[in-house]
């Protein structure tokens, strides 16, 4: 990465993470966004039979009790207060294609399905010790891994339908879509199915390519996992990986640690 490019990315990373609210793709849509249209393995999904027909949704307060706590994931800092730059509700942001809203919601720690029971928090990988040279120090400063974790809960088979809307959207939105948040528009240029972890009762993984205002494309990974009637979402950003369009993978250790609290 050229030093000038690093400087630009570093600047974006330090302004109260305000730019992150856009590049994370935090999006929204209408209540019709949960309509379904056929999921498949090809859209990055893995699943097991339903066990949630009579399930009752947990409240947002109950979901917060399932957050990871400080010290429960080695090498990571947990902030249960969440990130103030991200939207608190779906009404704060819009997508130009309703079918794509579940993807934007999953990336923003919002519920990808139709429920009011949701909560989110952030998990940051502890940075490496800063090296002595200016070049190495800049490299270390950019190597910050941010993870946005969302939990949502549903009555009946709502969690399964929520995961299906994500799976459907991966296919329907392959050509991209536009997000409007905080008065700014962000262009998602492409959506591709990822390899799901196979964790929980079912999981979906996808990546999005985002236009960086003429400075190239950045790629971001997201995973959605269902355990019973609770859906967890994981969205990962690392500024050091933005150059060249490389995505930072969702940490397996984070998914495992969170799912352990949902079982």
168-222 per-position pLDDT tens digit: 999 999 999 998 877 778 899 999 999 999 999 999 999 999 887 777 788 999 9
The pTM assigned to this predicted structure is 0.80
Rounded CA-CA distance 233/241 in Å is 21
Rounded CA-CA distance 80/133 in Å is 34
Tally of domains within the chain: 1
Tens-place pLDDT, residues 45-95: 665 555 546 789 999 999 999 999 999 999 999 999 866 767 788 888 789
Rounded CA-CA distance 152/246 in Å is 29
Instruction: Return the structure tokens found at 7.
Output: 């400087």
Instruction: Return the structure tokens found at 174.
Output: 């392959």
**Rounded (10°) CA dihedral 142, 183, 218, 174:** 150
Domain with 119, as residue range(s), is 3-260
Rounded CA-CA distance 138/239 in Å is 11
């Amino acid at each position: 990465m050229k030093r000038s490019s690093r400087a630009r990315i570093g600047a974006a990373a330090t302004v109260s993470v305000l730019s992150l609210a856009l590049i994370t793709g935090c999006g929204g849509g209408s209540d019709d966004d949960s309509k379904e249209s056929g999921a498949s393995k090809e859209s990055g999904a893995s699943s097991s039979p339903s066990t949630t027909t009579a399930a009752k949704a947990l409240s947002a307060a109950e979901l917060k009790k399932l957050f990871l706590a400080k010290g429960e994931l080695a090498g990571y800092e947990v902030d249960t207060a969440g990130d103030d730059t991200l939207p608190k509700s779906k009404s704060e942001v819009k997508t130009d294609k309703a079918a794509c809203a579940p993807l934007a919601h999953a990336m923003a720690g919002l519920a990808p399905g139709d429920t009011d029971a949701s909560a989110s928090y952030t998990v940051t990988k502890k940075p490496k010790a800063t090296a002595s040279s200016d070049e190495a120090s800049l490299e270390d400063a950019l190597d910050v891994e941010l993870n946005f974790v969302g939990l949502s809960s549903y009555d009946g088979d709502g969690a399964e339908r929520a995961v299906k809307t994500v799976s459907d959207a991966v296919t329907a939105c392959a050509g991209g879509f536009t997000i409007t948040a905080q008065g700014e528009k962000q262009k998602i240029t492409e959506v591709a199915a990822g390899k799901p972890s196979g964790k929980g009762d079912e999981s979906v993984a996808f990546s999005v390519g985002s236009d960086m205002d003429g400075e190239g494309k950045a790629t971001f990974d997201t995973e959605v996992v269902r355990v019973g009637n609770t859906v967890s979402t994981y969205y990962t950003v690392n500024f050091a990986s933005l150059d060249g369009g490389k995505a930072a993978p969702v940490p397996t250790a984070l998914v495992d640690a969170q799912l352990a609290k949902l079982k």
